[in-house]
């Protein structure tokens, strides 16, 4: 798949605009993990609640850093000892705005350049913003589906929930 710089610039604006609308919902879902339930696992094969929240945040950071570098690599970030919902959200708030600003400032020709995703696919770099959004929404859904089982409440995501009638 090839892409022009103009197409890449348009796609960046569209996808980061969509991501900007998703970020508040992602933060609400992470913040809804009940205190003391960070170690909750729906199944022994599942992430713990805090590990899933950490994965969502660090994956978004990784996708943006990879796009800026023009290459994917590295290992998944491990959950820091003593991680809490507050520390995970603090990392999101501390790192994401600057990375988003850097991606917004990238030369569109660099965004159009193909990047290999571990040899599985090669797409224009900007296309991975869609992958980032989908990945986060997928895992946010997993976390949201576990909140009631943890004794928590499901916040609004795309509108009011049974637990949050006020909506967004």
The pLDDT score that the predictor gives to residue 168 is 66
Phi, psi at residue 74, to the nearest 5°? 85, 175
The pLDDT score that the predictor gives to residue 166 is 76
142's CB contacts (< 8 A; 6+ apart) are 42, 46, 47, 52
SS3 content of the chain, % helix, strand, coil (to 5): 60, 5, 35
Count, residues in the chain: 168
3-class secondary structure, 20? helix
Domain boundaries along the sequence of the chain: 5-150
From first to last of its 168 residues, the chain has per-residue pLDDT tens of 789 999 999 999 999 999 999 999 999 999 999 999 999 999 999 999 999 999 999 999 999 999 999 999 888 889 999 999 999 999 999 999 999 999 999 999 999 999 999 888 899 999 999 999 999 999 999 999 999 999 999 999 999 999 988 766
The pLDDT score that the predictor gives to residue 109 is 97
Phi, psi at residue 123, to the nearest 5°? -130, 160
The pLDDT score that the predictor gives to residue 114 is 96
The pLDDT score that the predictor gives to residue 74 is 84
Superfamily of domain 5-150: dinb family like domain (1.20.120.450)
The pLDDT score that the predictor gives to residue 113 is 97
């Amino acid at each position: 798949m090839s892409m022009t710089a103009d197409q890449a610039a348009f796609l960046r604006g569209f996808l980061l605009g969509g991501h900007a609308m998703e970020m508040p919902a992602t933060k609400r879902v992470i913040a809804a993990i009940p205190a003391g339930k960070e170690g909750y696992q729906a199944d022994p094969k599942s992430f713990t609640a805090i590990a899933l929240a950490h994965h969502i945040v660090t994956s978004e950071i990784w996708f943006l850093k990879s796009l800026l570098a023009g290459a994917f690599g590295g290992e998944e970030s491990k959950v820091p000892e003593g991680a809490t919902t507050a520390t995970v959200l603090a990392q999101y708030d501390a790192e994401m705005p600057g990375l988003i600003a850097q991606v917004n400032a990238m030369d569109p020709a660099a965004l159009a350049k193909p990047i290999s995703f571990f040899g599985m696919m090669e797409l224009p770099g900007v296309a991975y913003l869609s992958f980032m959004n989908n990945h986060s929404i997928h895992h946010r859904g997993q976390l949201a589906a576990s909140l009631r089982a943890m004794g928590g409440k499901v916040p609004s995501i795309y509108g009011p929930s049974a637990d949050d009638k006020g909506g967004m």
